Chains A and B, each alone.
Chain A
Amino acid sequence: MPFGWVGKLLEVNLTTGEIGTRDTMRYAADYIGGRGLAARVAWDEIPPEAGPFDPENRVIVMTGPLTGTLAPTTGRTVMTGISPRTYPRPWYTHSTIGGWFGPELKYAGYDGIILWGRSPKPVYLVIRDGVAKLEDAAGLWGQGARETQLALRGRVDSRAQVLAIGPAGENLVRFATVQHAEENAAGHSGFGAVWGSKNLKAIAVRGTGGVTVARPDELLREVIGAGRFNITPAPAVLGVYSPRDGKNTPKPICTQSCTFDCHVVNTYGRAPDGRRTPGVCIGGVYLQDRGVETTEYRSAEMTVPQGVRFGVEKENAFHQACNNLGLDLWFRLVMQPWLIRCTELGIREIRGFPIAPDDADWFLSFTGQLARREGLGAVLADDLRRAMDELEGELPDELIRLGRELEFNFGFPAHREGRFWDEEPLPFWVISAMMHISASRDPTIGTHQSSLMYADFLLDNRELARRRFRVLSEKVWGDPDALEPTFENKAPVAIWSQNQHMLIDCFPICDFGFPQIMRPLKERRDWEEAEDISGDLYLHHRLFRAVTGVELADGELTRIAERAFNLERALLARAGRGRAWEEALGPHFRLPCRADGTSIDAEGFARLLDEYYAARGWDLERGWPETSTLDELGLPEVAAELQRLRRA
């Protein structure tokens, strides 16, 4: 038995009900686990022409060697497949989900689950210590995700961990989630709808085994040494925001063995029925009134009105409704300001349905309609971006344009792009844009602990931040100018961050917690006095070695990340992604940055693409990996397929 991995992947054919297993270790050396391993399965097994709701699409649920161990934040689980959400067309993407499901799956003897087909009737999958079977979900279909989880805990085991969809997934809403526990969700990719299309309501798992660790003493030493790392240094140190609970202490919450200080997802609220519920910032919905302000953006070209907040009690009710309906509550971040702009322009109804987006009761009712595809919900259940294609000509051009910018390519709420939500001054929005060029969906999927977390330092004291960044950049990227506020030479930062985050998703662990670019700073004085703020950059590599005993050097691990990243790129290329769609991102960045007014024109954006593609070893015409790049990564068969597609 290997250390870290438990050795088996579960295979479930939902059409026939057949269940089998395969050996995890055939993938482990080349892809480790999690997102990397899932990409290999997807490349080999999802037919290129498969749509999100076709039986041939896969639901790939994957853990990795660190899942369920004492390494910090090992409750994360990766979910991948063809997403109904990506725009302009469905293609392969991933989500990650926190909590206790992944660890329990490993304790039950499986590193992951690969599901395909379509069940003739609603079912749920039960896994108990190495035994899996499908059960009739007739009584659960139509139930909320929370009720389903509680029901399955009653039926299967009071300690079972459950993934479940709600009515939104059953009704194929394109932003339907797969939910777990209270607050954890595979959200943006719309995999809830993929589950719904397969008649899969839930997966319940109970395991009593464990994960064997190669070097227990070393793992203990590393974990104790890591201490209570502060995962959101800039906001916490500068006091930009610091939501805390009644005991005034930052608390971790979302994942197994998380011992870090989390200033983001750490406070309890109360549900309308009085029970305790976790979460502060989840999808920008805050359970407290203090915290980061919601959207407001005004430039000559674009007006995004301030969202309206409903007060703690109603916000909590909305939050809980989304969790139970299985809706990605980020929809509110785009739909509320868009609907408010409609009312500002005098539009009081859409297709005969009245709108009142600043009214909590109306909004809650609209939320339910989205999940059921009723009334106005039927128009918007395919997401705001697709609704714009539907409503073009019926509404003023300004609103159509606004909807298309709120969910600019590839169809997701703009985030960390320096315009609508997060203040990302130069160079951070440029680094974010470079990651966006190659991301399968939004600007920064699970890359929180990249340099993007440090924008607040620059806004706080520009000269001090530049001095600190120069020392940091020299150490991390071998270039003191890597974080200089310019447009030039930002690809190395973007690519390094993407590679490390790929590894983090292969282990998988929390993208807020790793890689530890900056060392923990407790307060403003630490920031002002510390010359060298660099952190324990490769702690996650050492955790991998302690758990698995696999002696891969930092460079070899990064090469595995590059292999997996290029394989994901090939999956996108196969679906038609490439330079043309990525150049279409450009106009969004012509809007002035909210923090410093900077922007980029089409020519400048094309230069960013050139720089990024070249640094990746991708061709400049399509942005596809060169044959030599793929050969070097040990993917000659992928290179051959891309060559075939180039000629086709």
Chain B
Amino acid sequence: MLKPPLKADSSLCRDCQACTLACSLSHEGQCNLGLARLSIAKDMARYEFAIVICQHCEDPECLDACPADAMHLDERGVVILDDEACIRCGSCADACPYGAIPNHKGADRYLKCDLCAGRAEGPLCAKMCPVGAIVLEAGREG
């Protein structure tokens, strides 16, 4: 089983938000940066950006941290968060070493990248990124 990891190079990012908007549009039916599974952290003073995105760890700490059995590994080895089973405790987000499980306070939800489960052509963020800042790592596609 292969996990198709996404590789992010923040130095290329231009903050166009095509990745986050595609993510929230496909998962939530709306364009809402806070409902995306990834985010772009900005330092406008220096005009530099950081892509915060799930690294799909070999040994996912979020999975171990969940006290509610709301997370499981799918057949690709990707950690999936079941929103209905989630008890909103935030343990997974706290455990994530990359800060890549965002919490949408208004919607009271935690959001976890599922690598666009079910999308045959692969994750949308990599597809949309116009500058190659997010790419599907070659040779490891699932």
* A binding-site residues for B, Cβ under 8 Å: 68-70, 72, 100, 103, 107, 149-150, 153, 159, 181-182, 208-213, 216, 219-220, 223-224, 228, 247, 249, 251-253, 255-261, 268, 275-278
Contacts and interface: CB of A to CB of B under 8 A. Distances in A.
Contacts of B12: 247
B32 A255 contact: no
B117 interface: no
A276 B21 contact: no
A72 B26 CA distance: 16
B52 to A, nearest CB: 13
B42 to A, nearest CB: 7
B91 interface: no
Contacts of A213: 25, 29-31
Interface residues of B, number: 33
Contacts of A257: 16-18, 21
Nearest to B28: A210
Given A182-B47, A259-B18, A276-B48, A210 B32 contact: yes
Given A208-B34, A216-B29, A223-B22, 12 more contacts: A68-B21, A69-B31, A107-B33, A150-B45, A209-B32, A210-B31, A210-B32, A213-B29, A216-B30, A224-B127, A228-B130, A252-B16
B96 interface: no
A69 B16 CA distance: 11
A253 B47 CA distance: 11
22 contacts: A159-B42, A181-B44, A182-B47, A211-B32, A213-B30, A213-B31, A220-B22, A223-B128, A249-B131, A251-B131, A252-B131, A255-B16, A256-B17, A257-B17, A258-B130, A259-B16, A259-B18, A260-B130, A261-B130, A275-B46, A275-B47, A276-B48
A252 B22 CA distance: 17
A172 B62 CA distance: 56
A155 to B, nearest CB: 14
B135 to A, nearest CB: 13
B114 interface: no
Nearest to A219: B25
A247 B13 CA distance: 13
A210 B47 contact: no
Contacts of B21: 68-70, 256-257
A68 B31 contact: yes
A73 to B, nearest CB: 9
Contact of A211 (B15, B26, B31, B132): B31
Interface in B126-142: 127-128, 130-132
Contacts of A255: 16
B124 interface: yes
Contacts of B46: 275-276
Given A182-B47, A257-B17, A275-B46, A210 B128 contact: no
A123 to B, nearest CB: 23
A220 B25 contact: yes
B10 to A, nearest CB: 12
B18 to A, nearest CB: 5
B92 interface: no
Interface string B31-55: 1111100000010111110000000
Contacts of A220: 22, 25-26, 124
Contact of B31 (A70, A253, A260): A70
A561 B46 CA distance: 40
A210 B30 contact: yes
A216 B26 contact: yes
Give the one of A153, A210, A253, A256 with max B CB within 10 A. Answer: A210
B14 interface: yes
A251 B25 contact: no
Contacts of B22: 70, 220, 223
Nearest to B12: A247
Given A107-B33, A216-B26, A252 B128 contact: no
Contacts of B31: 68-70, 210-211, 213
Contacts of B132: 249
A583 to B, nearest CB: 44
B18 A210 contact: no
Contacts of A209: 32, 106
B128 A212 contact: no
A219 B45 CA distance: 33
Given A68-B31, A258-B130, A150 B44 contact: yes
A324 to B, nearest CB: 13
B16 A256 contact: yes
A261 B14 CA distance: 13
A69 to B, nearest CB: 5
Contacts of A182: 47
Nearest to B39: A159
B16 A216 contact: no
Contacts of A68: 21, 31
Contacts of B24: 210
A252 B131 CA distance: 8
B110 to A, nearest CB: 16
A212 B29 contact: yes
Nearest to A224: B127
Contact of B18 (A70, A216, A251): A70
B47 A278 contact: yes
Contacts of B32: 107, 209-211
B44 A149 contact: yes
Contact of A276 (B25, B26, B33, B47): B47
Contacts of A256: 16-17, 21
Contacts of B48: 276
A210 B130 contact: no
B99 to A, nearest CB: 15
Contacts of B130: 228, 251-252, 258-261
B5 to A, nearest CB: 22
Contacts of A278: 47
B45 A275 contact: yes
A261 B47 CA distance: 20
Nearest to A67: B31
In the A-B complex, list the 5 residue pairs whose CB atoms are closest, starting with the nearest: A210-B32, A259-B130, A70-B21, A210-B30, A69-B31
A231 to B, nearest CB: 12
A256 B40 CA distance: 12
